[in-house]
Amino acid sequence: MAFEYIPGKTLFHRLDPRTKFLYWAVVITLAVSLGTDPIFTFALFLSVLVVIRMSKIPLGKVGEFLKGIAPVAGMYALFNMLFPPTATQFSKPYVFFYVIPNLLPITLEGIIWTFGAVLRFLIILLVVRTILMITPIRDLIIALIKLKLPPEFGMALSIGFAYVPVLIDENTKIKEAQQARGWKFEYRNPAKRFNALLRQMFIPAIFNSIRRTGDIAIAIESRGFSHNVAGRTYMRQLKYTKEDYAMTIALIAIFIGGIAVGPWGLKWAYYLNSVEAIKRFLQPHV
């Protein structure tokens, strides 16, 4: 489930959601700013896994998530390897072989770039998944409102997040009901498969969603949500603790250090550095 919360009493569970937002922002920024350097990007990826381990998130949950995005990651890796976006920066590329004679070379530079790009892709998705697994959606919405998000937008987000598992459950029920009536959708032809899913599964799910949307709107209005929205109070009160302040200082220090070693600073985190090191190792064997 995309927004499954796993209760716990670990340090990262206890942190204020705003601190978790800062952690998310720092990791995402570093993943982008460090480029596709395989060494530093892999270290950042390991740090996310350490947070997952310290949060006592079942590894099976992480494995299921990675398995689900594996096809997308594979296509992303293949595209980057065949068409690296920085190919113009390659001077005298180390070519292993050509997919087509004299076309689509598989180079050392392209492989190093692809490895870092895939790691960056996994980091961005995995850190979002981690935050959602250690923070209730309720607390995330309240934190966003504390950060000056309009309450109406916060309500819309909370309903949207809460509706995802309901939508998944409804789609499962529709699918099982249709299969009990002899419905088939596992065609080899993608067009036939999509047509079967659209007519017998997606359209009923859309009609159910529209009907449920009307019920939710009536329930919200009957409880007076639109009255004095700006003055709303919340049963759950967020409060910074010493742990939050310590984590904030640590995250700021990590952020500054990451920017310092990145392409905008000392340029230690640069994928061509790794390329040159591997070339020096391979060159005597050419």
Rounded average pLDDT per 10-residue block, the chain, 286 residues: 75 91 92 82 92 90 82 85 70 73 77 87 89 85 79 72 69 78 72 72 78 78 69 75 93 91 75 75 60
CA-to-CA separations, 7 to 13, 20, 54, 133, 168, in angstroms, rounded: 8, 15, 13, 8, 21
User: Each residue of 118-127: b (16+ CB within 10 Å) or e?
Assistant: bbbbbbbbbb
Rounded Cα gap, residues 265 and 179, in angstroms? 59
Rounded Cα gap, residues 210 and 146, in angstroms? 31
* DSSP code for 97: E
> Would you call 189 helix, strand, or coil by DSSP?
coil
Predicted local confidence at residue 164, as pLDDT:
65
Predicted local confidence at residue 141, as pLDDT:
79
* Total count of residues recorded for the chain: 286
pTM over 0.75: no
37 C-beta neighbours (distance < 10 Å), count: 28
Predicted local confidence at residue 1, as pLDDT:
46
Predicted local confidence at residue 39, as pLDDT:
86
Predicted local confidence at residue 123, as pLDDT:
92
For the chain, the domains span: 1-135+240-286, 151-236
Per DSSP, helices labelled H in the chain are 11-14, 17-33, 38-54, 59-82, 108-134, 137-146, 151-180, 190-197, 203-222, 242-261, 271-282
Q: How many CA atoms lie within 13 A of 111 on its CB side?
A: 14
